[in-house]
Amino acid sequence: MAQQQLSVKSKAIWDGGTEPFGASYGKLMMWFFLLSDAFTFSSLLLAYGALRFSAPVWPDPDLVFKGVPFMDHANLPLVFVGIMTFILIMSSVTMVLAVEAGHRGAKNEVVKWMLWTILGGLAFLGCQAWEWTHLHHDGFWWGSTPSAEHLKEFFAGNPSQDYAQQFANLFFTITGFHGFHVFSGVVINVVILINTMKGTYERRGHYEMVEKVGLYWHFVDLVWVFVFTFFYLV
């Protein structure tokens, strides 16, 4: 109805009694929450950027992230993180498919795609756990770095204990905060899946809840794109 009014008289959308953005309050709140969360992540990445720029040396990502599961002592930089990125983008696609199915009111398809999304989220978390374990095995952790002789392996130039430490701190904090978002996303997805299976949204007549949670899930994917670039590539 709001859409029809729009086509008749475009100014009327601000006249009150309408939804000027063509979006329900819930969707607006989700969007503005994500905007707010974008500021949180930006601040964290900014802190990372500022600390890295002010550091004379920094570990070389190609030398730090080169392990792959089940392949001991592999020297394949970026391969594993490539798999992680692929998984997260895949799960974003299945989420869009769930939303699309929701628009058609196809309950079973929504359930199917939500399941795939949850699976993708769990797979990503598993990969991240492996990545953390691997780095921890190398000696990186909050407040600890590899010993001085091993440290050379991770630097292209002169190694530095202090900045290896900064790298580890920032990596674990920021990917940890992102992982926490993925985890809460998975939990919310499970709740939505249960509601879908119970038919709550079918009775409500629309699957807007799936759409809202979808927004959150894509946002988590979006953040990963930036984390990936700034930790693994640059």
Residue from the set 69, 92, 116, 127 that interacts with another protein by CB under 8 A: 92
Handedness of CA 122, 127, 133, 136 (dihedral sign): negative
**Cβ neighbours of residue 94 closer than 8 Å, sequence gap 6 or more:** 113, 114, 116, 117, 120
Rg of the chain in Å (alpha carbons): 22
Is residue 15 near another protein by the rule CB under 8 A? Answer: yes
> Is residue 50 part of the contact set for another protein (CB under 8 A)?
yes
Q: Does 74 bind another protein (CB under 8 A)?
A: no
Which residue's structure tokens are 């599961």?
69
Dihedral of alpha carbons 123, 26, 102, 8, sign: negative
Burial class from Cβ neighbours inside 10 Å (0-12, 13-18, 19+) for residue 64 reads buried
Q: Which of 7, 8, 9, 25 binds another protein (CB under 8 A)?
A: 25
Looking at residues 185 to 224 of the shown chain, list those that interact with another protein (rule: CB under 8 A): 205-206, 208, 211, 214-215, 218-219, 221-222
Determine, following the binding rule CB under 8 A, whether residue 44 of this chain makes contact with another protein.
yes
Figure out which of the listed residues 151, 173, 183, 197 binds another protein, where binding follows CB under 8 A. Answer: 173
The one segment of 119-127, 129-137, 186-194, 226-234 that binds another protein by CB under 8 A: 226-234
